[in-house]
């Protein structure tokens, strides 16, 4: 079956530090990959996505590249801000499984001023 594995958290960084959050997946088909973010007290929001191998998704300074050879979709940002403090979820959508989302456990990011 499909699964998503995220690195263990939480992660605490100082403002302007470089961020990498690891995500690897297992899928039987050709999934699309997503990063969702959940800010305190809010619902899940789509941060970025990639629909095929070697695609790069980007938004708000965040980037992730769909790597089929390593089955990975790591999230990166060059300089984090306090406002980036949130929970980040990696997810995949398998068109062969009615496009339902399979999520990782999520990781909490805290950014200190």
Partner 1 sequence: EAGVAQSPRYKIIEKRQSVAFWCNPISGHATLYWYQQILGQGPKLLIQFQNNGVVDDSQLPKDRFSAERLKGVDSTLKIQPAKLEDSAVYLCASSSPGTTGTDTQYFGPGTRLTVL
Residues that bind partner 1 (CB under 8 A): 4, 32, 34, 36, 42-46, 49, 51, 89, 91, 93, 95, 97-101, 103-106
We find the least distance from the C-beta atom of residue 28 to partner 1, in angstroms, to be 16
Contact of 102 with 90, CB cutoff 8 Å: no
Nearer to partner 1, 49 or 77 (CB): 49
Nearer to partner 1, 46 or 79 (CB): 46
Pick from 111, 89, 97, 95: nearest CA to 7:
89
Whole-number Å distance between alpha carbons of 4 and 23:
7
Whole-number Å distance between alpha carbons of 14 and 92:
29
Nearer to partner 1, 19 or 106 (CB): 106
We find the least distance from the C-beta atom of residue 96 to partner 1, in angstroms, to be 11
Pick from 113, 47, 103, 52: nearest CA to 75:
47
Nearer to partner 1, 15 or 56 (CB): 56
We find the least distance from the C-beta atom of residue 103 to partner 1, in angstroms, to be 3
We find the least distance from the C-beta atom of residue 16 to partner 1, in angstroms, to be 29
Which residues, listed in sequence order, are joined to residue 92 by a DSSP beta bridge? 33, 102
């Amino acid at each position: 079956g499909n699964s998503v594995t995220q690195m263990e958290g939480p992660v605490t960084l100082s403002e302007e530090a470089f961020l990498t959050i690891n995500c690897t997946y297992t899928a039987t088909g050709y999934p699309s990959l997503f990063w969702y973010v959940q800010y305190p007290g809010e619902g899940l929001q789509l941060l970025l996505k990639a629909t095929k191998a070697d695609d790069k998704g980007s938004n708000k300074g965040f980037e992730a590249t769909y790597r089929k050879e390593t089955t990975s979709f790591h999230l990166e940002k060059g300089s984090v801000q306090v406002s980036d403090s949130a929970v980040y979820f990696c997810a995949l959508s398998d068109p062969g499984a009615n496009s339902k989302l399979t999520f990782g456990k999520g990781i909490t990011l805290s950014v200190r001023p």
